[in-house]
Amino acid sequence: MRIVLNNNINNDLEVHFRVKFVSRTIPPSGGHNTTQRAHELFPKLALGFFIPVILPFIMCIAVSSLVSCGPKARVAVNQLDTPGHHTFTGLKLLELEKYPDAQREFTMAIELNKNYSKAYTGLALVNTFTGKFDNAGENLILGSQYAASDEEKLFAYVGKIRYYTISKADSKWLELAGNQFDEAVKIDSRYSPAYYYMGIAYKDALDFNQALQMFTKVIQLKTDHIADADAQLKFLKKIQQAMPATAEGKKIALVERLTRGDAAALFMDELKIKELYKKQAPQAPETVVKDEEKVSAETPAKDVEKITAEVKEVGKKFIEAVTAVSAPAKLMANDIADHPFKKEIEGILEIGVHGLENNPNGNFNPREVLSRGEYAIIMEDILIKLTGEKDLASGYVNSKSLFPDVPADMPYFNAIMSVASREIMEAKNVKTGEFAPLKPLSGVEALLTIRKLKDKLKLN
């Protein structure tokens, strides 16, 4: 059967799932048509008599049987056993990410009232969050079909915004989500959930300015999602401070746990570390050229030997300096062939960054999450190579810790002191002053450290 939406309901999802509903018919037994089955069941009856008289009678009985055998609405067992209460409970469980429990509540609501719109939309959200997008789409069609009140219609529209944002099943998912937003605000221009979830959609699409406008509107409305919108605004302002310049940087800004592959991409694309290392490579000292110019045919032998010795010493120092920042032989990792940041990882391995090397087995482990302490070691190595301060690696050995959770015997101690003293990294918890060296680093935090490094070293 095909479910037809009401005229006032947007039918984007109906188009996507029409084929599924149309194709759900049960073929006759053995692949025969009804007439063939009739010959088998009633061989002695003439076909001319069977079709006009018997067949309608049998079909009538069959239809009546199907109707009478269909599922009946469950009878409520107590005052709380209502579609509204089960749906309310399901939405609370959904917020807690208890998806099986939420699904049970929405299903119980539908058992009591098979036309309860919000329960179908709730089921759609469960299926969306668990990656069952086909089922979610079908649920949303039913949620829209049975939506009678403005409240139910608004809830269905927002459900579709969330579905498109998470599934991204269509290349025009943002436009489709925007269509649902437009329909929602036509009904109620002050409906906060529509603005909040459209803000999430814009954020996922990396349109941070539009997202800021949506979250700001939620704050102005002063109804629902105020705390959530405030948190999103603070997060987006951090991204603005970090100023990611590339699409890769903007995407990584949204990750909650930075991986080794993410870090490689940020250093190659945002910091432009390869170009910086080339610029920082020592040039041949002018004194070498000037001293060579002093040597002539008239120069006394003793002076020639003296100048030659000086040139050799300067040249030796130059070679040592170049060797210190020059790239090792190009390395490949065994486990990055299908990684989206393969090129960036190879670039990092080529220039050599302490903390982002291959392991002894030749694996880079690009999806391994970095801790804040590990990231500090990486940043310290970059600082040393960009500033030439080789003693930085041991400069805080006998120093007092700046953080209560970073003891002097911790492997990350010197690196954390190096980056913290230069205000490139700071305490994770401002209230307790803890650095949290073993906790993960978010993408936006990593971008902020790169921005601070650029500012400190005037690399902009």
pLDDT tens for each residue of 63-74: 444 444 555 778
CA distance 231 to 441: 18
Task: Look at residue 86 and tell me whether its pLDDT is greater than 80.
Answer: yes
pTM: 0.74
CATH code for the part of the protein at 1-28+73-164: 1.25.40.10
What is the number of alpha carbons within 13 Å of residue 168 lying toward its C-beta?
Answer: 6
Across the range 340-349, mean pLDDT stands at 96
- 8 A C-beta contact, residue 423 and residue 353: no
- 8 A C-beta contact, residue 185 and residue 218: no
Could you tell me the residue ranges of all domains in the chain? Answer: 1-28+73-164, 258-281+326-456, 282-316
CA distance 66 to 63: 5
What are 88-97's pLDDT values in tens digits?
999 999 999 9
Q: Which residues pair with 369 in a beta bridge?
A: 259
Distance of CA 13 to the CA centre of its chain: 24
Across the range 109-136, mean pLDDT stands at 97
Across the range 263-286, mean pLDDT stands at 83
Task: Look at residue 113 and tell me whether its pLDDT is greater than 50.
Answer: yes
Amino acid at 423: E
What are 20-54's pLDDT values in tens digits?
444 443 344 444 444 444 334 334 434 444 445 45
